[in-house]
Structure 1
Amino acid sequence: IQGGAGFILPENNYLKKVKDHCTAVGAILILDEIQPGFGRTGKLFAFEHFNCVPDILVIGKGMASGLPVGAFTASKKIMHSLSDNPKMGHITTFGGNPVIAASSLATLNVLLNSSLIADTLKKEQLFKELLKHPKIKEVSCKGLMLALIMDSPETANELVLRAKDKNLILFWLLFENRAVRISPPLTISELEIREGCAIILALLNAM
């Protein structure tokens, strides 16, 4: 899922075709799941929606429930290639911090043993049902990774700025100036979704 471009979902089996081509030419497919990973899209990882398994997966953010973390995962064969030239060339100064590791493990246990991941798709539907307005041209989303595509960059900018005054945190996207980003925690409640959407609609009506 392209993040900064407007949370664009791959279509027409695109990712599988990319993976097949990489395999054919001997290339490695690396997917960045720092934003969509760890349940945000209704699967533990977003690639699971698209019939494609990467060779290397880059992860972070939601991995440790707010603590600073980043990692990449790969097959044993690929990981072994990092053991030489230079020796242990993949280590980092702060790698393997025990507090971060414990938080990551606890996060994974909660995600795998609760309904949080499955509930993101229900919450997505609620957002889409509520966020209907002439100034909202599209809701591009998967789970709780949502982008409102507005009628103009000016509307998007004003909505983000005015929402802050109502204690509602929205944000921009880097490469789509008509987009407003909504990325709430997976624990957001139905009541909080309804309250947030009501604020958005009221602000749009006032523009």
Structure 2
Amino acid sequence: MLSPRQLFLQHQAQTTDFPLLLEVEKAKGVFMYGPNGERYLDLISGIGVSNVGHRHPKVLQAIHDQLDKYLHLMVYGEIVQTPPAQLAHALAQTLPAGLDNVYFVSSGSEAVEGACKLAKRYTGRTELIAFNNAYHGSTHGSLSLNGSESFKRAFRPLLPDVRHIQHNVLEDLHFITSRTAAVILETVQGEAGVRVPSLEYMQALRERCTEVGALLILDEIQSGFGRTGTFWAFEQFNVVPDILTCAKGMGGGMPIGAFISRQEIMHSLKNDPMLGHITTFGGHPVSCAASLATLRVIQEEDLLTQVNAKANLFKERLVHPAIKGIRNQGLMMAVEFESFDLLKAIIDNAILKGILTDWFLFCDNSMRVAPPLTITLAEIDEACDLIMKAIEEEVGL
């Protein structure tokens, strides 16, 4: 019989010529375990997914409880189901008044697709503005918004009437005009290597969109659900989006996404044409039950107030001449090195020591550090000890 590794390589579609090929048999908290007892401390949370850790008991209980009731019943929006209804209400309670209408989908890319369709439908305009080094997903529409040509050129032609402007540059805001349906911005740029806009810029962007009647879409697929120390990252900038997208960390390990707006805007998808956006599995009851449990864990276990102290401990411990700097917003962190080659060697060495990290798509000389919010101070110390050993072994200092 073929092993799981052989089956993976023979029959499962690959995304690179060099997959990690770590075999994971189980996971719990911040750890993943291999079939022979290997233990890996997960510092990337499945790329921003496991905000409350792997297999949190309260998330598991919510999943089990829902399994005993029903699974998929009908395409989105036709049947009243308790999990999505309760989750939509709970999400609205975390948001400013009026931002209270939730459309559930299955992934972050689909959330972006829905948000852009909604903006074009509501405004009657066609232009979308995104940012250099942005990442919003890999479906055709969301790929069109990404800011790296190297990821797009093989798939052109893409969505027309998309303009890219410089991130955090006030002078570029004049490109937002009465032709613009929406501006889409990651509240904190993720794959660019954790780039945080200034308060001045965010408020000027909000004012410019309001001035010309363009909608502001904030993408919190990576930064939402507590990752930056507030439930939503935009809370730290004193701005409110017209449309908000989320996914990744909202599911507690289950696949789910959403785009959220005001009822007045969202209702434009109901007519001309009706069913303006359709999804089969959006609002899946098991995923929604897991998401509601995740939201409650973040609130009830007071995880938000711990984020900055945990991030500060990483910054205090990760000090070495090879580290050129650390950028962060809460536990969304980028540790910068001189080059990709050095970083890759350190990442590979750290994996051998039981620490799983990664780099960023558009910033390949920076190490991604985004552990579950549940990580303890002792676990941070352990992770930093091993990363420092990996650095010292690679640079010889």
The interval holding the TM-score normalised by the smaller chain is over 0.9
Deviation at 1:31, TM superposition (A): 0.9
CA distance 1:12–1:33, change in 2 (3 Å)? closer
Counterpart for residue 244 of structure 2: 57
Instruction: State yes or no: 1:96 paired with 2:283.
Output: yes
Gaps of 5+ in 2: 1-187
Which runs of structure 2 are paired with 1:63-78 in the superposition (5 Å)?
Answer: 63-78=250-265
Counterpart for residue 9 of structure 2: none
In 2, Cα distance between equivalents of 1:117 and 1:194: 20
Deviation at 1:105, TM superposition (A): 1.0
Deviation at 1:12, TM superposition (A): 4.7
Deviation at 1:15, TM superposition (A): 1.2
Instruction: State yes or no: 1:106 paired with 2:293.
Output: yes
Instruction: State yes or no: 1:31 paired with 2:227.
Output: no
Gaps of 5+ in 1: none
Question: Which is worse superposed, 106-115 or 169-178?
Answer: 106-115
Residue type at the aligned position of 1:50: F
| Structure 2 contact 199–237 (Cα < 8 Å) conserved | no
Counterpart for residue 168 of structure 1: 355
Deviation at 1:91, TM superposition (A): 2.7
Task: List per-residue Cα deviations over 1:109-158 (Å, max 9, x = no partner).
Answer: 12122211110111011111101010111111111111101122222111
Which runs of structure 2 are paired with 1:149-164 in the superposition (5 Å)?
Answer: 149-164=336-351
Identity among equivalent pairs (%): 47
Instruction: State yes or no: 1:201 paired with 2:388.
Output: yes
Question: Which is worse superposed, 44-53 or 155-164?
Answer: 155-164
The match for 1:43 among 207, 226, 230 is 230
RMSD of Structure 2 on Structure 1 (CA): 1.0
Counterpart for residue 154 of structure 2: none
The match for 1:9 among 162, 175, 196 is 196
Residue type at the aligned position of 2:246: I
TM-score by length of 1: 0.97
Residue type at the aligned position of 1:131: L
* SS of corresponding position for 2:334: strand
* SS of corresponding position for 2:288: helix
* SS of corresponding position for 1:136: coil
In 1, Cα distance between equivalents of 2:199 and 2:262: 27
Counterpart for residue 267 of structure 2: 80
Question: Which is worse superposed, 53-62 or 104-113?
Answer: 104-113
| Structure 2 contact 327–334 (Cα < 8 Å) conserved | yes
* SS of corresponding position for 1:206: helix
Relative contact order (alpha carbons < 8 A, sep ≥ 6): 1 or 2 greater? 2
Deviation at 1:88, TM superposition (A): 2.2
Residue type at the aligned position of 1:47: F
| Structure 2 contact 315–326 (Cα < 8 Å) conserved | yes
* SS of corresponding position for 1:185: coil
Counterpart for residue 189 of structure 1: 376
The match for 1:140 among 321, 327, 331 is 327
Residue type at the aligned position of 2:367: V
Residue type at the aligned position of 1:101: C
Task: List per-residue Cα deviations over 1:23-78 (Å, max 9, x = no partner).
Answer: 00110111110101000100001111112111111000110111111111111111
Task: List per-residue Cα deviations over 1:169-197 (Å, max 9, x = no partner).
Answer: 10010111211101111111111100101
Residue type at the aligned position of 1:122: A
TM-score by length of 2: 0.51
Deviation at 1:93, TM superposition (A): 0.8
